[in-house]
Amino acid sequence: MVRPHTRLIILTESKVSGDVLNALRYHAFSFCSVPVATKHLRALIEDVLQEAVWDDGIELIQGTPDYVVLVVRCDRRTLDRLEQFMSESVALPKVESEEVAFAFREIVTHLIEQGKFDSEQFVEVWYLKSKRQVTCRIGASGTGFSLQEALKQAKRRSLEELSTIQVRREDESIPPGVGILVAEKFVDELIGSEKGNEVFLIKYLP
C-alpha cells in the first residue's frame, strides 16, 4: 500500500481462502505455493523485469472466494500471470487445477488468434465455484470463433502430432489450434455461444 507499483511475487508455504484474491486486488505480479521449480521462478522474475506495464493487466471488478469477475488484457504475459493465479485458486487438487488454468489460457489465446480484435483489448472473465463444480466464463468483444469448428479442425491433425504434445507451462511446441483440443480434454464441459465470443469451461468437483 505504501509503494503500490512495487513488482511483487508472493511465495508462500500456506494459504487461506481469499489470499489469491487479495493478491489480485492489490496487483501482485504473481502468487506461488512453494516448493516452486527454479526454472519457473526464474521465468517469473524475467517476466516481471521485462513487463513495462503490468499492474493494469488484470483488474478485479468484484470478488469473493467463490465468485470473481475480472477484466484481463489479452497479451501473453498477462495470460501467463492469470494462469498462475487460477492454478493457485481453483478448488481442485493441484494437477486438476493446473489443467483448468491451462484450458482457460488456451481458450483465451484462441479468441485472440481467431477473433476480430487485437491483443491490446480486454476480455471479461467470470469464475464461479459451487458445491458441485467450478465454472469459468470468458466473454470478448468482436466476432469470435466457432468452437465446434475449431475442435473439428484440431481433430483432423494426426494422432502422432497430438501424442507428442507436452502440456507444460514452459512448452511452446503446441501447434496452433491444437491447444483447444487439449483444453477440451482437461475440463468436463466446454460450451461456446452462437456468436462465438463467449465460452464456458466447467469442471465438476469430486
Query: Phi first, then psi: what are they for 93, rounded to 5°?
Result: -55, 160
| Amino acid 6: pLDDT | 84
55-204 has CATH 3.40.50.970 classification: no
206 residues of the chain, pLDDT tens digit each: 788 778 899 999 998 888 999 999 988 999 999 999 999 899 989 988 887 777 778 999 999 989 999 998 877 788 888 889 988 988 888 888 888 888 888 888 777 666 555 656 788 899 999 999 999 998 877 666 667 676 676 666 644 455 555 444 344 555 555 777 888 889 999 998 887 778 899 999 88
Q: Backbone dihedral region of 142: left (phi > 0), alpha (psi from -120 to 50 degrees) or beta?
A: left
- Cβ contacts of 49 within 8 Å, gap of 6 or more: 7
**Domain spans of the chain?**
55-204
| Amino acid 42: pLDDT | 94
Q: Torsion over CA of 99, 103, 105 and 107, rounded to 10 degrees?
A: 180
